[in-house]
Amino acid sequence: MAYRYLIDTNLLVYPQDGREREKGVKARNLLARLGATDDAVVPAQALAEFADVLLRKMEPPVEPDTVLHQVEDLLLAFPILPLTPLIVLEAVRGVRDHGFSYFDAQIWGAARLNQIPVVLSEDFQSGASLEGVRFLDPLVPDFELGWL
């Protein structure tokens, strides 16, 4: 199946983080919209980072049972893109050739190798395009969900 969008970790975390309410509402609305389609995928890396942030970095940390249920909800809402050895290799190439941090390169590599044209994330320059992958930040103030 061909997916149009790869969802990065920050879009999963913001709805759980009450410190940035506007971003949380935007991310929640976006996830609901994308979850109702077959257009988006979550990489296993983002799912793992989501769980780690909730368990260790939230103040206060989220209880493991709650995180378990939230991960299960994401598994029901989105297909999960596995982390493969080829994605690891592509990520290292992304670090070497494009100066990405390793985990940003892994997101880019997962999208590129799976021919997913758009990464939805606030971690890249919005509107930039690299080797067939375009980056959009759906959390910027002027972003409209209708753009998707």
Q: Is 96 exposed, middle or buried (0-12, 13-18, 19+ CB in 10 A)?
A: exposed
Strand order in the sheet with 40-43: 80-81, 40-43, 5-7, 118-120, 133-136, 129-130
Angle between helices 102-113 and 85-98 (to 10 degrees): 120
pLDDT by 10s per residue, the chain, length 148: 689 999 999 999 999 988 889 999 999 999 999 999 999 999 999 999 999 999 999 988 899 999 999 999 999 999 999 999 999 999 999 999 999 999 999 999 999 999 999 999 999 988 899 999 999 999 988 877 665 5
pLDDT at 146: 61
Q: Which CATH class is domain 5-140?
A: alpha beta
Q: Find where tokens 């940035």 sit.
A: 20
The pTM score is: 0.92
Per-residue model confidence (pLDDT) at position 147: 55
What per-residue confidence (pLDDT) applies to 145?
61
Report which of 39, 37, 50 is spatially closest to residue 10, judged by C-alpha positions: 50
For the chain, give every domain's residue range: 5-140
Contact 4, 40 (CB under 8 A): yes
pLDDT at 81: 97
